[in-house]
Amino acid sequence: MKLSTETEKILSQIADTTTKLGDLRTIAKDIKKDHQLAIELWSTKRFLARQLAILIMDKKLLTREVIDNLVSDMNQHVETEKLQLIDWLMANQLTKDKKTIALIESWETSPSPLLRRVFWYYQGRLRWLGQTPPTSNEELLSKIENRIEKEEPEVQWAMNFLAGWIGVYDKKLRDRCIALGEKTGLYKGKTVSKGCTPEYLPEFIAIESNKRNL
């Protein structure tokens, strides 16, 4: 794809390795929504350009086919970039429209690990950020208990994230969530950055529930 002058100009702004997510948000705020520009940026295959592209996409144009193509492209990136791109797409686009939320809710058993990750991560975010607790905690926890040890690592993380927040907010299920963490051992002993909560479920639930006096 031949790039427009505008795209070339933007690429020169974000070529530096010191470019931060905040810088991308500032650029995106100036651009607002420009799906064609987003497509051009995405076509470069560059990580930062694709992050910026996600911010300026038109969510109304994110059909199932378009999302499948984006996910296919993401799978060409290294692991850390791939996960950042799918989580960025979910947070900044897919959760902003009823049609794409409906798609998210259909991805529980998708053949794509990245889309399954989105399903479970979205459920976790509903509990983390939401005001009204969802009513499906026990059903989802049972599925996690049955599947998590057989899942791909990127999906395990999202399942673990959801189980953590269920354990924080749903006292009647807290012991099961803690027991799940003890059984799987996921993230036990993993070093986390200063100020971050350990992802090992017994520690995560204890810390986050204490913060909230729950």
- Clarify whether residues 206 and 112 are in a common domain: yes
Q: Is 131 helix (H, G, I), strand (E, B) or coil?
A: coil
- Structural contact between residues 188 and 200, judged by C-beta atoms closer than 8 angstroms: yes
Residue partners of 33: CB distance under 8 A and separation at least 6: 56, 57, 58
H helix or E strand, kind and range, residue 80? helix 79-92
pLDDT higher than threshold 90 for residue 3: no
The percentage of the chain sitting over the pLDDT mark of 90, rounded to a whole number, equals 84
Q: At residue 131, does pLDDT exceed 70?
A: no
Question: So what's the pLDDT on residue 132?
Answer: 66
Handedness of CA 28, 31, 34, 39 (dihedral sign): negative
Question: What pLDDT is stored for residue 69 in this prediction?
Answer: 97
Flag whether 102 is in a domain. no
For residue 63, which phi and psi values (nearest 5 degrees)?
A: -80, 170
Q: What is the rounded distance in angstroms from the CA atom of residue 68 to the CA atom of residue 71?
A: 5
Q: What is the value of pTM for the model shown?
A: 0.93
How far apart CA 86 and CA 21 sit, in angstroms, is 15
Of the residues 42, 66, 96, the one at which a domain ends? 96
Residue 37 maps to a domain: yes
At 205 the pLDDT is 97
In tens, the pLDDT along 61-117 reads: 999 999 999 999 999 999 999 999 999 999 999 999 999 999 999 999 999 999 999
Q: What is the mean pLDDT of residues 169-173?
A: 95
Statement to judge: residues 17 and 87 lie in one domain: yes
Last-in-domain residue among 35, 61, 96: 96
For the cut 90, the answer to whether the pLDDT of residue 17 exceeds it is no
Range of the structural domain that residue 35 is part of: 1-96
Residue 125 within any structural domain of the chain: yes
